[in-house]
Structure 1
Amino acid sequence: MERCVRVAILGAESSGKSTLAAALAERHGTVWVPEYLREFVETQGRVPVAADQYGIARMQLERENAAAAQAQQFLFCDTTPLMTAVYSRHYFHGVDAPLAALADDYHYGLTLVTAPDSPWVADGLQRESEAVRQLIYRYLLDELDARGIVYHVLRDSLEARLEQAAPLLQQALAAAPAISLN
């Protein structure tokens, strides 16, 4: 019997989610799931529209589920459908029913939120501004609070965030149910 914790890493644009996910995966000898939205923007050459949101969130989950087979104790997920729903509310003034259903199926053993306390960096098509970053961060915290999802905000440098995450990860692992590998 083994334990594996799915860790949601959420945050606004340019807040260090991908950097943190990769560093945590390396530190713990496991895998992480990159944000599919980045790939979507690169391959499509455009930002998503409202009709793309469900497909983006679904692909994120599919990749997460596929990566779970290689995970060792932790699976670090650089965003979740909940984050897609937060952005949909901001940019498209709502969330369609299929995306809402994906966001409602929140199945993570630990939720880490990256504070927007590093310099904002433009990143091609998918990052808007420091003002939007702060607004999305506030929307995210409000959404997590409204859903009663316990979360932990990680601040400062990458090293500080790794140190802040360490005891949270160990607590989540100790509380995780054992799973059979048969």
Structure 2
Amino acid sequence: MENSKIIKIAVVGPESTGKTVLCEQLALHYNTIFVPEYARDYFLTKNIEGHTKEDLNIIYEKQILSESKIVKQANRFLFCDTNLISGKVWADVVFKSAPEFISQNISNTDHDLHLLCDIDLPWVADEQRRNEYNRKEIMQMHVNELQKLGLNFEIIKGFDKDRVKNAIIAISKYF
């Protein structure tokens, strides 16, 4: 399928809000593929405790590179498990400012829609998650960033199949 016809949808939000599962389920529903979150693989081989802004530059450069490669295999939709919006919020929380790559590229995001996963799911701890107690603040930071950039977004709520159904309804409003 021709790349110009692919609709790119970023699934963003605070930690432990079901982004990866939602991407998987939406890709299955729409018979397409999704771009996994590169940071997950990156921190399997590197200690997350001492990460730097330079790590975020590497992570989000690779995330965008992955999108550009995988989009060629997509069928109408490409679901992206994170993008520069979440990268900027992450950097603002941890470092109080975004690294150069994110700052220079965030306004050029080419996602047609952002699905912002709400914090209505219970927190699930893992080795890479750090923000259990400020999820509400991080959620609002995502809203603020999306609004500031004038990007299309829908907040996705609900558990399990309801969350997927709500995402499908949101997508159908636009496409």
Query: Counterpart in 2 of 1:17?
Result: 19
In the superposition, the TM-score normalised over structure 1's length comes to 0.88
C-alpha contact 2:113 2:151 (8 A) present in aligned 1: no
Is 1:60 equivalent to 2:46 in the alignment? no
Q: Deviations over 1:90-123 (max 9, x none)?
A: 1011113322122221111111010011110111
Query: Counterpart in 1 of 2:118?
Result: 115
Q: Deviations over 1:124-153 (max 9, x none)?
A: 1x2114212222111111111222222100
Question: For residue 75 of structure 2, what is the amino acid of its counterpart?
Answer: Q
Picking from 19, 36, 39, the partner of 1:37 is: 39
C-alpha contact 1:116 1:137 (8 A) present in aligned 2: yes
Query: Counterpart in 1 of 2:163?
Result: 161
Q: How does 1:1-182 map to 2 (within 5 A)?
A: 3-47=5-49, 48-124=51-127, 126-173=128-175
C-alpha contact 1:82 1:104 (8 A) present in aligned 2: no
Deviation for aligned residue 1:171: 4.0
Question: Partner of 1:77: helix, strand, or coil?
Answer: strand
In the superposition, the TM-score normalised over structure 2's length comes to 0.91
C-alpha contact 1:36 1:59 (8 A) present in aligned 2: yes
Query: Counterpart in 2 of 1:176?
Result: none
Question: For residue 77 of structure 2, what is the amino acid of its counterpart?
Answer: F
C-alpha contact 1:9 1:113 (8 A) present in aligned 2: yes
Whole-Å Cα distance in 2 between the matches of residues 129 and 106 of structure 1? 25
What's the Cα RMSD here?
1.6
5+ residue gaps, structure 1: 174-182
C-alpha contact 1:57 1:102 (8 A) present in aligned 2: no
